[in-house]
Amino acid sequence: MSGEVDCPGDKSISQRILILGSLLNCDMEIDGFLDADDPNSTLDALNKLGASIHRDVKRIYLKKRSITFCNPSEDLNLGNSGTGARLLLGLISGLGIKSRLVGDYSLSNRPMSRVISPLLEMGANIESKEGTLPITTNACSINDDYEYLMPLASAQVKSCLLLAALSSKNNIKITESKITRDHTERMIEFFGGEIYYGNETSFGQIELKNRDLSTKDYYIVPGDFSSASFIIVASILADNSEILIKNVGLNKTRSGLIEILLLMGANIVIKNKKILSNEAVGDIIIKSSNLNGVDVPENIIPNIIDEIPILSIAAAFASGKTIIKNAAELRVKESDRLNAISKGLSKLKISHEMFDDGISITGTKDEIECDDIIDSFDDHRIAMSFLISGIRSKNGVTVQNCKNIETSFPKFKDIMNSLGMNINEKN
């Protein structure tokens, strides 16, 4: 594999800038937006709430409007987007809007109590189907100076509560036990908001005080590190490979996979580092590498939770054992990802052991043979990860239910094939 590629726009940041930009109610151009199912579901829901978001081939345009938000006349369908559902629930609760949020089968079975419970404590008026979608919101009054100690590490929960406080013009203090991705905080700061961070005696504390944000007419979405991770591991596993990925988001709370792969012996170089819209961005050069198994540090797990499926593929072809623990969150993603990883590795004949909160993988340096079809369990990251494993297979790897890749990486097949892979669709 060889070549260079521009990294697709970041899915999480694309959704956040739509939400925060609509709250700012200003004229703004957004460059680098990810045109995929999840961000588009959030876009459509915001327009139903009264936002004025338009697009052309390359950019998104937010228009200032005379009426800020309104009660939608129909359900807000977030499709498969957990980020969209949880973050919009925070915005809507803060605004006191009457609405009904729905999603597809997968999203309708994902836990929402983790955001519903603190929102109810804040004063939100929410009804749900036993903590899952559909969720109904009604007029309410959000409390000022709310304080929340997060029982689990979740950037979506943190962002939801920050948006509820921001949209209701209230203060909030959140304490997290492990640092999670900070895109929402960085975006608030980019627009002039003030986030106060704890010191050594108040580790993980985040406090929002200044809610009077300023407007800007332009925002650049960096490349999605989670999408880049599939290209990175593919280049590592392929023979005589060298790939340049341009414009990759390198936020330290997001790019922990690079740290793990370097520990495993990967040949990775980062260059052209810069800051765009308050996010670190750079280019990544990856070459073929011989990997060694590692014990993944537990404190980094919250920041690589979306990359664990593709890390598992890297581990499958590393010398020795890789152990991943403290990752129970994987069980409540788009699928039970621990189970999906285990099922797929079994069909690759890779030795492994699954735990309640993780997995141990004993890798092989040999090429594999896979005669069984691997089920993606309708999960985009599982689908892409096991397609990448085909690089080290004598007879290829077949993965079923890959339509879900459209939720986050619509050009995955075309980009990977342009770099030297051979991914074909079968009817």
- Distance from C-alpha of 353 to C-alpha of 332, rounded to nearest angstrom: 19
What's the pLDDT at 39? 97
Cite the beta strand spans of 192-290 per DSSP E.
194-197, 205-210, 218-220, 242-249, 267-276, 279-287
What is the Rg, in whole angstroms, of the alpha carbon atoms belonging to the chain?
21
**Chain center to CA of 41:** 15
Q: State the pLDDT at residue 397.
A: 96
238, pLDDT greater than 90: yes
Residue 254 C-beta-side C-alpha neighbours within 13 Å: 25
Residue 90 has pLDDT above 90, yes or no: yes
d(CA 303, CA 311): 13
Q: Compute, in degrees rounded to 10, the torsion defined by CA atoms 339, 305, 409, 181.
A: 160
The position carrying tokens 């990883």 is 341
pLDDT tops 80 at residue 49:
yes
Identify the CATH class of 225-418: alpha beta
Sheet holding 359-362, edge to edge: 321-324, 359-362, 351-354
The Cα–Cα gap between 241 and 12 comes to 29
> Burial level of 265, CB count in 10 A (0-12/13-18/19+)?
middle
Contacts of 130 (CB under 8 A, 6+ apart): none
Annotation marks residue 295 as catalytic = no
Which helix (H) or strand (E) segment holds residue 4: the answer is strand 2-6
List, as one string, the DSSP characters of 119-155. HHHHT-EEEEETTEEEEEEE---PPSSEEEE-SS--H
3-state DSSP: the chain helix, strand, coil percent, rounded to 5?
Answer: 35, 25, 40
pLDDT of residue 285: 98
- Give the model's pLDDT for residue 236: 98
Encoded tokens for 189? 């700061």
Q: Give all strands of the β-sheet with 76-77 in edge-to-edge order.
A: 76-77, 99-102, 132-138, 125-129
pLDDT tens digits for range 346-386: 999 999 999 999 999 999 999 999 989 999 999 999 999 99
Kindly compute the dihedral angle of the four CA atoms of residues 93, 170, 83, 107, in this order, to the nearest 10 degrees: -30
- Each residue of 249-293: pLDDT tens digit? 999 999 999 999 999 999 999 999 999 999 999 999 999 999 999
Helices (H), 203-245: 225-237
What is the spatial distance between Cα 298 and Cα 305, in angstroms, rounded to a whole number? 11
| pLDDT for 204 | 86
* Residue 96: strand, helix, or coil: coil
The answer to whether 116 and 188 are in contact (CB under 8 A) is: no
Query: In degrees, to the nearest 5, what angle opens at C-alpha 224 toward C-alphas 33 and 264?
Result: 175
**Residue 172's pLDDT band (boundaries 50, 70, 90)?**
very high
Q: How many residues does the chain have?
A: 427
State yes or no: cis peptide before 134, omega within 30 of 0. yes
Q: 229: pLDDT confidence band, cut at 50, 70 and 90?
A: very high
Q: What percent of the chain has pLDDT over 90?
A: 92
pLDDT > 70? residue 180: yes
- Rounded to two decimals, what is the model's pTM? 0.95
Among the listed residues 10, 38, 283, 306, the single catalytic one is 306
Dihedral, CA of residue 114, residue 115, residue 118 and residue 124, to nearest 10 = -140
Mean pLDDT of 32-61: 95
pLDDT exceeds 70 at position 311: yes
CATH 3.65.10.10 domain position(s) in the chain: 11-220, 225-418
* Mean pLDDT, rounded, of the chain: 95
* Residues whose CB falls within 8 Å of the CB of residue 367, separated by 6 or more in sequence, listed in order: 392, 393, 394
| One CATH from 3.40.50.2000, 3.60.15.10, 3.30.750.200, 3.65.10.10 for 11-220 | 3.65.10.10
pLDDT of residue 57: 75
pLDDT at 347: 97
pLDDT-based confidence at 117, cuts 50/70/90?
very high
